[in-house]
Amino acid sequence: MNTIFKNLMLGLLIFGFSCSSSSDETFTDSPPLNDTPKDPTSFKIAIVSDSFEGEDFIVVGSEGWNFMVAYKTMANGKTHSFDAVKGSLPVVMTDEEGSNYNIFGLAVDGVNEGTQLTPMNAFMGYWFSWGTFYPGLEIFDSSIPLQNAGGGVQGNNGWLVPRDQVFVGALKDAIPAIDDPQFTSPKDEGLVANLKDDALVIGVLLENEARAYPHFIMNWHEIVNDKIGNTYFSVVFCPLTGTATVWNRVINNQATTFGVSGFLYNSNVVPYDRNTDSNWSQMLQLSVQGQLQNTPSQNLFVLETSVETWKTITTASKILSTNTGFNREYGLNPYGSYPTNSAVNFPVNFTDTRLHPKERVLGVLVNGKAKAYRFISFK
Amino acid sequence: MKIFIKTFVYLIVLIPLKAYPQACCTGGAPLSSSLGIISYTGENLVIDFSYDFNTMKDLYAGTTQLNDKQRERSTNSTILRFSYALNNKWAITTVLPYVWQEQTVRSNVGKTVQSSSGIGDIVLLGQYALMQNKKNLVLLAMGPKFPTGSISKTDNEFGLLLPPDLQPGTGSWDGIGAVSYSRYGIFRPTLSLYTLFSYRYSFQVGRYDGQQKYRFGNEMVINIGLTDSFLLKKWILNPGLQFKYRNTQKDENNGSSFPNTGGSWMYLVPSLDIELTPKIYLHSNFEIPIHTDVVGTQLVTSFKGNIGINYTLNFKKNRAYKIKD
């Protein structure tokens, strides 16, 4: 019996500890593409001219430099045409009159120096989120048959969206927005300084001041209420849809702040404004419930790119500090392998299987319709 | 000698199983008190009623406790257990929980409280005594956990479906298996060693009207403890101390690992049982976390306890419990 006893105990212990799970989550924040060029000297920049819903615009992008931005082609009453410029970041293109434009759409020399191109309403996001919010959307330069064309949903129960498709992901403010953001230079703070070149940041340029909000911090907070000069804005990032937007937070002449309601619609963050408690949809870009229902968000230009690109295109840039006022393990991605796997955590209205659910695409919105652009078009 | 035998019997009966506690980030029945994997006398019905409380306010990332008191969660439950021994070898146990859960988030702009309550998931176990003699007892148990608890509780303000960790039930069928080994008379006649290995296998559940295929991570619990017995006036006191190791695998969502689930926990579990009469005893235990290693970031148990009362009904009198040599 003693032998049985000893063996049983030993077996229990060995089995028990061999089942220990590891907490060493690998920090990943890259799109699920495995052929992205790694050598900056080989990075290409390309431009596509397009027209959608009667709007003429260009999309400038680079797979290697990891950005896509879209601007209207008409500026100061003239319609311009553009060619890509390689190897001169932040300059990315030149117009037919020889003026060079930086990645923020500003002509930096030539006869059109000082001309600011008007950004399109566009932002990056995981493919599945564009597919569910804008069913049947077209993909640029793609011959794959459309899916879910003509699909749509109706709001109910006081919401502009189907209330039974709004889910509680967490309690209100359980994901705390940053209301007093601190910034650091890219070299000054451990985790920020050690960011991998391909780590993603959300870039904002307002009143000539550039600020970057790294995904690895935004994953934990989703919203930063910030101010540059007289511009009050909120950076809103949804880790589940990979979407980053920047909203003017002066609404009806009153500055407000946004918080994380904890609700999810189509797996996308639902911010709430703290003045009225109204709930907003990030990807629909309007308030979907509450006093401000139907009020559209005022969208500011946002550039989502790699930290390597951001450092290259900005000088004296400030990066959001991990000194957020909250104690979090910022070196750990709370979403694990979610950014690269094929899982969608919460139910969505439409599933579009034309692309990998987590492929990052640029969505351009015109008149409530969207068109998607892939990095593959900018190789 | 009789008192020793009697004490042994009570020791066997009184040592509770501390298995299947409320998973830190999942809903469902907090089966933290006894599942009843203990020795029973034939044709006895044991009724156990206990109250379980679990306070979670420590936020962990891996093994590191974060300095954050923003969130707090409490789970209170009552657990009614019936165990009927068909004979000295076979017994059937059913566990019926009722759960109250409340989660609080404090922020610099206010406080949010969300709560829910309802019947939890019911467990049915069949038990077999593989070996029982003066020195050793080996028990096997297995059975299903039924998805009887509600998974459709909604929030107070908008009627939105609450997250799974605030639902009284998990929605899934689970299979539970356990083996326990007890050895009596270690170092002194009344000192006993108790070990338990238990495993819960979870099956997939379709959440949100089947739009999400979710599977809770399987859970393993190992308990190793010592219990002694003392006489205090008319009462027999049974203080005990257990080491408890619990491991859960990551949950799966539509085939992929779900973030911030899974991990390992270790606890010290002091307990005290008091036999008031041969048929009635009170039991209590407290779980003190001593090591935490979670996947991602999770709110974990800060303090947990269970108190209860146990009553035995004899259906067939004049049949004494006999221990084989």
- In angstroms, what separates the C-alpha of B10 from chain A's closest C-alpha? 22
| Alpha-carbon torsion, ordered A110, A115, A118, A123, to 10 deg | 60
How is residue B66 written in tokens?
A: 């974060």
Q: Give the model's pLDDT for residue A69.
A: 98
Summarize pLDDT for B163-199 with one digit per residue, the tens.
888 999 999 999 999 999 999 999 999 999 999 999 9
Q: Which DSSP string corresponds to A69-106?
A: EEEESEETTEE--EEE--S-TTEEEEETTS-EEETTSB
Residue of A170, A172, A342 lying closest to B256 (CB–CB): A342
Note the pTM of the prediction, 2 decimals: 0.86
Q: State the Cα–Cα distance between residues B292 and B276, nearest whole angstrom.
A: 37
Do the Cβ atoms of B250 and A21 come within 8 Å?
A: yes
User: Which residues of chain B make contact with A15, given a CB cutoff of 8 A?
Assistant: 197, 220
User: Is the CB of B110 inside 8 Å of chain A's CB atoms?
Assistant: yes
- The alpha-helical segments, DSSP class H, found in chain A are 2-18, 127-133, 190-193, 215-221, 307-313
User: Is the CB of A326 inside 8 Å of chain B's CB atoms?
Assistant: yes
Interface test with A, best of B24, B112, B166 (most A CBs within 10 A): B112
Amino acid occupying residue B208: Y
Strands B252-253 and B256-257: antiparallel
Query: How many CB atoms are closer than 10 A to CB B207?
Result: 21
Q: State the Cα–Cα distance between residues A198 and A29, nearest whole angstrom.
A: 8
Degrees to nearest 5, angle at CA B74 with B70 and B79: 170
Q: Which candidate, B105, B70, B72, places its Cα nearest to that of A172?
A: B105
Do the Cβ atoms of A346 and B208 come within 8 Å?
A: yes
Q: Give the model's pLDDT for residue A36.
A: 66
User: Which residues of chain B make contact with A329, given a CB cutoff of 8 A?
Assistant: 61-62, 64, 66, 297
**Does the structure show a pLDDT above 60 at A9?**
no
Do the Cβ atoms of B296 and A25 come within 8 Å?
A: yes
Query: How many CB atoms are closer than 10 A to CB A221?
Result: 22
User: How far from the centroid of its chain's Cα atoms is residue A353's Cα?
Assistant: 21
Do the Cβ atoms of B247 and A25 come within 8 Å?
A: no
Do the Cβ atoms of B160 and A344 come within 8 Å?
A: no
Classified as helix, coil or strand, A16 is helix
**Does the structure show a pLDDT above 80 at B101?**
yes
Question: How far lies B276's CA from each of B9, B231, B238, B280, in Å?
Answer: 15, 11, 12, 6
Phi-psi region of B169 (alpha: psi -120 to 50; beta: other; left: phi over 0): beta
Chain B 10-39, residues with CB within 8 Å of chain A CB atoms: none
Q: Give the model's pLDDT for residue A30.
A: 52
Q: Give the model's pLDDT for residue B4.
A: 36
Q: State the Cα–Cα distance between residues A85 and A62, nearest whole angstrom.
A: 11
Q: State the Cα–Cα distance between residues B117 and B104, nearest whole angstrom.
A: 15
Chain B 199-218, residues with CB within 8 Å of chain A CB atoms: 208-209, 211-212
Q: Give the model's pLDDT for residue A33.
A: 55
Kindly report the average pLDDT of chain A as a whole number: 90
- In angstroms, what separates the C-alpha of A283 from chain B's closest C-alpha? 20
Q: Give the model's pLDDT for residue A31.
A: 53
Summarize pLDDT for B84-95 with one digit per residue, the tens.
999 989 999 999
User: How far from the centroid of its chain's Cα atoms is residue B142's Cα?
Assistant: 15
CA gyration radius for chain A? 22
Question: How far lies A85's CA from each of A43, A67, A82, A111, in Å?
Answer: 11, 14, 9, 17
Section A353-379 average pLDDT: 96
Do the beta carbons of residue B70 and residue B111 sit within 8 Å?
Answer: no
Classified as helix, coil or strand, B303 is strand
User: Which residues of chain A make contact with B110, given a CB cutoff of 8 A?
Assistant: 173
Do the Cβ atoms of B263 and A166 come within 8 Å?
A: no
CA gyration radius for chain B? 20
Do the beta carbons of residue B298 and residue B60 sit within 8 Å?
Answer: yes
- In angstroms, what separates the C-alpha of A278 from chain B's closest C-alpha? 12
Do the Cβ atoms of B256 and A13 come within 8 Å?
A: no
Q: Give the model's pLDDT for residue B24.
A: 32
Degrees to nearest 5, angle at CA B181 with B175 and B185: 160
Q: State the Cα–Cα distance between residues A211 and A186, nearest whole angstrom.
A: 11
Q: Band the pLDDT of A317: cuts 50, 70, 90.
A: confident
Chain A 284-313, residues with CB within 8 Å of chain B CB atoms: 289
The backbone torsions φ and ψ at residue A133, rounded to the nearest 5 degrees and listed phi first, read -80, -30
Q: State the Cα–Cα distance between residues A257 and A223, nearest whole angstrom.
A: 9
Q: Give the model's pLDDT for residue B105.
A: 95
Strands A318-320 and A209-214: parallel
Q: Give the model's pLDDT for residue A35.
A: 59
Do the Cβ atoms of A25 and B262 come within 8 Å?
A: no
Do the Cβ atoms of B253 and A179 come within 8 Å?
A: no
Query: How many CB atoms are closer than 10 A to CB B270?
Result: 14
Count of alpha carbons within 13 angstroms of residue B2, beta-carbon side: 1
Query: How many CB atoms are closer than 10 A to CB B195?
Result: 21
Residues 6+ apart with CB under 8 A from B2: none
Classified as helix, coil or strand, A42 is helix
Do the beta carbons of residue A323 and residue A85 sit within 8 Å?
Answer: no
- In angstroms, what separates the C-alpha of A168 from chain B's closest C-alpha? 5
Count of alpha carbons within 13 angstroms of residue B161, beta-carbon side: 18
Q: Band the pLDDT of A13: cuts 50, 70, 90.
A: very low
Lowest mean pLDDT among A236-250, A347-361, B30-44: B30-44
**Does the structure show a pLDDT above 70 at B8?**
no
Q: Give the model's pLDDT for residue A32.
A: 54
Q: Band the pLDDT of A38: cuts 50, 70, 90.
A: confident
Residue of A12, A176, A343 lying closest to B256 (CB–CB): A343
Chain A 220-239, residues with CB within 8 Å of chain B CB atoms: none
Q: State the Cα–Cα distance between residues A246 and B13, nearest whole angstrom.
A: 64
Interface test with B, best of A6, A10, A21, A266 (most B CBs within 10 A): A21
- In angstroms, what separates the C-alpha of B292 from chain A's closest C-alpha? 11
Its sign, for the CA torsion A284, A290, A291, A293, is positive
| Alpha-carbon torsion, ordered A111, A116, A120, A122, to 10 deg | 120
User: Which residues of chain A make contact with B246, given a CB cutoff of 8 A?
Assistant: none
Do the Cβ atoms of A23 and B197 come within 8 Å?
A: no
- Residue whose token pair is 């935004």: A218
Question: Where does A253-332 show beta strands of DSSP type E?
Answer: 254-255, 258-265, 268-273, 279-281, 286-289, 299-300, 303-306, 318-320
Query: Is this prediction's ipTM beyond 0.95?
Result: no
Between residues B318 and B143, which one has the greater pLDDT?
A: B143
User: Is the CB of A368 inside 8 Å of chain B's CB atoms?
Assistant: no
The backbone torsions φ and ψ at residue B206, rounded to the nearest 5 degrees and listed phi first, read -90, 110
Q: State the Cα–Cα distance between residues B92 and A263, nearest whole angstrom.
A: 43
Residue in B with minimal Cα distance to A164:
B160
User: Which residues of chain B make contact with A171, given a CB cutoff of 8 A?
Assistant: 71, 103, 105, 112, 114
Amino acid occupying residue B300: V
Strands A138-139 and A369-373: parallel
Q: State the Cα–Cα distance between residues A94 and A82, nearest whole angstrom.
A: 5
The percentage of chain A sitting over the pLDDT mark of 70, rounded to a whole number, equals 90
For residue A7, the 8-state DSSP code is: H
Q: Give the model's pLDDT for residue B33.
A: 43
User: Is the CB of B256 inside 8 Å of chain A's CB atoms?
Assistant: yes
Strands B280-294 and B263-275: antiparallel
Do the beta carbons of residue A56 and residue A71 sit within 8 Å?
Answer: no
Summarize pLDDT for A255-270 with one digit per residue, the tens.
999 999 999 999 999 9
**Does the structure show a pLDDT above 90 at A188?**
no
- Residue whose token pair is 């170092």: B187
Residue of A168, A342, A344 lying closest to B162 (CB–CB): A168
- In angstroms, what separates the C-alpha of A309 from chain B's closest C-alpha? 29
Section A334-341 average pLDDT: 88
Q: State the Cα–Cα distance between residues B176 and A115, nearest whole angstrom.
A: 70
Q: State the Cα–Cα distance between residues A42 and B51, nearest whole angstrom.
A: 67
Summarize pLDDT for A232-246 with one digit per residue, the tens.
999 999 999 999 999
Q: State the Cα–Cα distance between residues A23 and B295, nearest whole angstrom.
A: 4
Q: Give the model's pLDDT for residue B1.
A: 37
Q: State the Cα–Cα distance between residues B297 and A25, nearest whole angstrom.
A: 11
User: Is the CB of B109 inside 8 Å of chain A's CB atoms?
Assistant: yes
Question: Where does B27-148 show beta strands of DSSP type E?
Answer: 44-61, 64-66, 71-85, 90-107, 110-119, 123-132, 136-145
Question: How far lies B213's CA from each of A270, A345, A368, in Å?
Answer: 23, 10, 32
User: Is the CB of A156 inside 8 Å of chain B's CB atoms?
Assistant: no
Please return the burial class of B291, using the count of CB atoms within 10 Å of its CB with bins 0-12, 13-18 and 19+: exposed
Section A98-117 average pLDDT: 97
User: Which residues of chain B make contact with A13, given a CB cutoff of 8 A?
Assistant: 222
Chain A to chain B Cβ contacts (< 8 Å): 145
**Does the structure show a pLDDT above 70 at B20?**
no
Chain A 120-139, residues with CB within 8 Å of chain B CB atoms: none
Q: Give the model's pLDDT for residue A28.
A: 40
User: Is the CB of A356 inside 8 Å of chain B's CB atoms?
Assistant: no
Peptide bond preceding A176 in cis form (omega within 30 of 0): no
Interface test with A, best of B57, B160, B245 (most A CBs within 10 A): B160
Interface test with B, best of A172, A223, A240 (most B CBs within 10 A): A172
Q: Which H or E run contains A239?
A: none
Q: State the Cα–Cα distance between residues A275 and A104, nearest whole angstrom.
A: 32
